[in-house]
Structure 1
Amino acid sequence: MPTSSLNETDPDFVVVDVETACSRVSSICQIGIVGFKNGIETFAYETLIDPLDHFSSFNTRIHGITSDHVVGAPTFGDVHSTINAHLAGRITVAHSFFDKGALGAACAIHQRDVIGTTWLDSVRVAKRAWPELPSHRLNVLSKFLGIRHKHHDALSDARAAGIVIVRAIEHTGMGLSGWLAPARARRGPAPKAAADGPLKGERVALLGAARDGKLARCLAEAGARIMSGVGTTTTMLVISDDQPFGRFVSGHAEYRRAEEMRKQGASIKIVLETEMLTRMQR
């Protein structure tokens, strides 16, 4: 049956996670919703749901929920108004947009209005905050960040995904509005290096800045050739002041590649943007 603890404080964002009974994404059999404000959990809601569909052995092996567990449980149509009250008009986080699709499909099947909310994918956030990780699955992130987590329990998954967002904000200093904004494009053509200048001959890779952005143009005007990444001919890695990786920037693949090249005897320099610009002004 539904369980809920509610604080009247309006959350900065809410997190939703669903489990499904079979391959049809509309077959929601459990939902968990957690609200966060100022990095602290403000409410939690969880309920089993009768999906009015069959339970596949594959899905049951993942989450452990069977048809016996949902006897007497409400249908999605029964709890739609409660879910809508928690999500509508707010920023809603989901770890991948599977949950968004499942809610949309369930609304259609049960002839309920689609829930109007602003979606934020915590997978995308995690990939930008910790690009050095080999996987950004929720169980991997939970282990990395020290989050207590029961994988494939809807309430635990929602809570863990919310903590991922909180930690990403703390780690990078980027607020919710920044994470909601599209990632800056990094595939534009690099500016052409000036014929002369203090950086003539330097082959520069950027970390945390676009190849066609302000920093790239500044370095190119000083004679540097802007590279697509750290390679065997790169002579300098410049770390942008706006890099979103925080103190874990040294774990970024480009940074690690530059460090490995240095260990092997390559004369590649790793410098901060501020330091680089100060040098150029001397």
Structure 2
Amino acid sequence: MREIVLDTETTGFDPKTGDRLIEVGCIELMDLLPTGRTYHTLVNPDRLIPPDATRVHGITDDKVKDAPRFADIVKELDAFIGDAPVIAHNAQFDRNFIDFEYARIAHPLIDGSRWIDTLQLAQKKFPGMPNSLDALCKRFKVSLADRTFHGALIDARLLAEVYLELRGGKERRLDLSSARVTAVSGPVTAAAHGARPRPLAARSTEAERAAHLEFLKATLKDHTLWEGYGLDMEKAPAA
């Protein structure tokens, strides 16, 4: 199962008011684990970046002045995403900017059904609790030590770890595939698990065991139960 975790950084909150996308970061997951493949680029927004936005992500006008425009990176981005589901936190925000940039160059949009919002997943799992990416990282003990500013690729990495936890946690790393699990059918016997390498020493004496068999033969009418455990009642000493 291939999925793409995506995060963006922008000049503001709404592309309809003139804000633009300035960074995209993607992480590839396969069966809920990172493959090591990533996609990351800065994007020239053809406008100035407000100081308030720079304080959040640390991206300045100077950093993006020589970056490619979205039309120049769309083929690479499209090829990386492919037809995989797209995972994002508060996905509507990232989707608005991606859709806006696609629409500007008359590029087909990513189908809405392919977007998976981890904020909605978290709200269902932790109703009434803080569910920002930072809050979820702290809840799941995902380290934020390497993040000085918000950045598309580093936030995508953090979100990939959070998404793994939301989908079932680290126990998904266990290999429980049918190829590695051998089913044992029928009664469980010592042979099914292998013989004990060093048999335990008997805790009773021979005289005590003989006395016990005499007791069983004298008092029990149904010997079959005990014979099933290896006690040969016919060889028991006469009562």
Specify the TM-score bucket, using the shorter chain as the normaliser: 0.5 to 0.7
Structure holding more strand per residue = 1
Report what 1:153 is aligned to. 151
Amino acid at match of 2:22: C
Q: Count matched residues.
A: 163
CA contact (8 A) 1:21 1:56 kept: yes
CA contact (8 A) 1:13 1:35 kept: yes
Q: Structure 2: any 5+ residue segments left out of the alignment? A: 173-239
Of 6, 10, 25 in structure 2, the residue corresponding to residue 32 of structure 1 is 25
For the aligned residue pairs, the C-alpha RMSD in angstroms reads 2.3
Alignment of 1:109-258 (within 5 A): 109-116=104-111, 118-131=114-127, 134-149=129-144, 150=147, 152-171=150-169
CA contact (8 A) 2:42 2:68 kept: yes
Structure number with larger C-alpha Rg: 2
Is 1:78 matched up with 2:72?
Answer: yes
Deviation at 1:63, TM superposition (A): 0.8
Deviation at 1:23, TM superposition (A): 4.4
Of 3, 7, 12 in structure 2, the residue corresponding to residue 22 of structure 1 is 12
Structure with higher RCO (Cα < 8 A, 6+ apart): 2
Amino acid at match of 1:67: D
Q: Secondary structure at the match of 1:17?
A: strand
Deviation at 1:99, TM superposition (A): 0.4
Amino acid at match of 2:61: S
Question: Sequence identity of aligned pairs in percent?
Answer: 26
Structure holding more helix per residue = 2
CA contact (8 A) 1:27 1:51 kept: yes
Is 1:98 matched up with 2:88?
Answer: no
Q: Secondary structure at the match of 1:170?
A: coil
- Mapped to 1, the partners of 2:60 and 2:170 lie a distance apart of 41
Report what 2:215 is aligned to. none
Q: Structure 1: any 5+ residue segments left out of the alignment? A: 1-10, 175-282
Distance change in 2, residues 1:73/1:103 (3 Å): same
CA contact (8 A) 2:164 2:170 kept: no
- Mapped to 1, the partners of 2:45 and 2:111 lie a distance apart of 22
